[in-house]
């Protein structure tokens, strides 16, 4: 009979975590403050202003400790990608001296020019104002690209009048609605329940090709896929590739990706060759569906960044 080693705790090997999770909040906040934060998240309510100011102080100290000088509200507009606007931790004091400052208001709310983002035809293009609001149910993380380090605050995106302008808000609303209805059902069935959470583990498939081959194919550059060439296999000709031995070059790529994801508390559970040539798959541990979506977006960005560093193109 097998038993789980529940006392073991996952720690990214030899790396400082670039993610600030609820566990980190528990270590830096007092017990009443942490309990209030949890109740605000579970109740889908904004934390009190005093607590928000305290959280902003903690996050600024953590960001400075990690050499981060900028922050952004990281959101998901209707483009199929993420968006961010970088702001510095600086402001003027009453004597017009520059000081390091990250206020509670900067944490919970940001303003962006939304006129260039798709709106699903819910408003006129000239209505430019858009607002980002912190989603405390997701993990704040530090994104590093070259010499740049930015503290990313997962957020929702809406208009001044409350129109939904992103892909995350409908997901959060669906989670809340499902939890409410499932809780009612379970309580009627005699099962005491206060909340129902949905979990998912994204399986991200991708292709890797050498950058030299990518540069020779206009169809792949323009469309992200082949439009001409040999017909694809339709039976089991590629069965030797599926779950096959991973080439050294690809194994090094996967190891680099895993190292970067582990530093952001995104644990990779599975990786393997897929059916088609140059096709592979990466799977992270199951987590809350909203958090899992955020993590998978980071995974896709990481795959692209590491591929470019190693002279490949990820599709």
d(CA 280, CA 84): 29
Query: Do 182 and 217 reside in the same domain of the chain?
Result: no
Query: Do 242 and 310 reside in the same domain of the chain?
Result: yes
Q: Which of 118, 121, 116 is nearest to 167 (CA)?
A: 118
d(CA 41, CA 311): 42
Residue 14 has pLDDT above 70, yes or no: no
Query: Do 45 and 103 reside in the same domain of the chain?
Result: yes
Residue 72 has pLDDT above 90, yes or no: yes
**CATH label of the domain that carries residue 25:** 3.10.20.70
Instruction: Please say which residue of 146, 166, 186 terminates a domain.
Output: 166
Query: Do 158 and 172 reside in the same domain of the chain?
Result: no
Structural domain span for residue 186: 167-197
Global pTM value: 0.84
Going by pLDDT thresholds of 50, 70 and 90, the confidence category of residue 156 is very high
- Whether residue 279 lies inside any domain: the answer is yes
Residue-wise pLDDT tens digits, 19-28: 998 888 999 9
- Whether residue 7 lies inside any domain: the answer is no
- Whether residue 70 lies inside any domain: the answer is yes
Query: Do 289 and 221 reside in the same domain of the chain?
Result: yes
Range scoring the smallest mean pLDDT among 47-56, 119-128, 148-157, 290-299: 119-128
Mean pLDDT computed over 77-93: 87
31-62 burial string, b = 16+ CB within 10 Å, else e? eebbebbeebeeeeeebeeebbebbbebbbeb
- Whether residue 133 lies inside any domain: the answer is yes
Query: Do 27 and 139 reside in the same domain of the chain?
Result: yes
- Whether residue 136 lies inside any domain: the answer is yes
**CATH label of the domain that carries residue 277:** 3.30.590.10
Query: Do 48 and 162 reside in the same domain of the chain?
Result: yes
Helical axes 289-309 vs 168-188, angle rounded to 10°: 140
pLDDT at res. 112: 80
- Whether residue 302 lies inside any domain: the answer is yes
- Whether residue 10 lies inside any domain: the answer is no
Residue 202 has pLDDT above 60, yes or no: yes
pLDDT-above-70 percentage for the chain = 89
Q: How many domains does the chain have?
A: 3
Query: Do 203 and 158 reside in the same domain of the chain?
Result: no
Query: Do 44 and 157 reside in the same domain of the chain?
Result: yes
pLDDT-above-90 percentage for the chain = 41
Residue 149 φ then ψ, to 5°: -130, 125
What does the CA dihedral 45, 87, 148, 69 come to, rounded to 10 degrees? -90
Query: Do 48 and 161 reside in the same domain of the chain?
Result: yes
- Whether residue 6 lies inside any domain: the answer is no
């Amino acid at each position: 009979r097998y038993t789980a080693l529940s006392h073991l705790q996952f720690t990214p090997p030899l790396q400082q975590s670039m993610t600030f999770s609820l566990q980190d909040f528990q270590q830096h906040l007092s017990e009443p403050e942490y309990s209030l934060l949890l109740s605000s998240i579970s109740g889908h309510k904004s934390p009190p202003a005093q607590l928000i100011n305290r959280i902003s102080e903690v996050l600024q100290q953590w960001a400075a400790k990690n050499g981060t000088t900028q922050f952004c509200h990281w959101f998901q507009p209707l483009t199929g990608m993420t968006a961010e606007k970088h702001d510095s931790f600086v402001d003027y004091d009453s004597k017009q001296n520059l000081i390091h400052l990250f206020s509670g208001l900067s944490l919970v709310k940001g303003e962006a020019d939304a006129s260039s983002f798709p709106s699903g035809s819910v408003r006129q293009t000239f209505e430019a104002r858009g607002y980002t609001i912190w989603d405390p149910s997701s993990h704040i993380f530090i994104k590093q690209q070259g010499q740049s380090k930015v503290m990313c605050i997962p957020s929702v995106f809406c208009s001044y009048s409350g129109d939904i302008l992103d892909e995350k808000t409908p997901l959060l609303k669906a989670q809340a609605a499902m939890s409410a209805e499932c809780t009612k059902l379970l309580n009627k069935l005699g099962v005491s329940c206060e909340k129902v959470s949905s979990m998912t583990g994204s399986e991200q498939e991708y292709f890797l090709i050498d950058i030299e081959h990518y540069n020779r194919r206009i169809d792949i550059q323009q469309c992200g896929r082949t439009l001409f060439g040999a017909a694809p296999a339709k039976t089991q000709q590629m069965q030797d590739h599926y779950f096959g031995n991973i080439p050294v070059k690809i194994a090094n790529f996967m190891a680099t990706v895993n190292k970067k994801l582990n530093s952001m508390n995104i644990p990779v559970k599975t990786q393997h060759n897929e059916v088609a040539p140059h096709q592979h798959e990466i799977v992270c541990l199951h987590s809350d569906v909203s958090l899992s979506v955020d993590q998978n977006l980071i995974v896709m960005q990481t795959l692209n960044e590491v591929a470019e560093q190693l002279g490949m193109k990820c599709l």
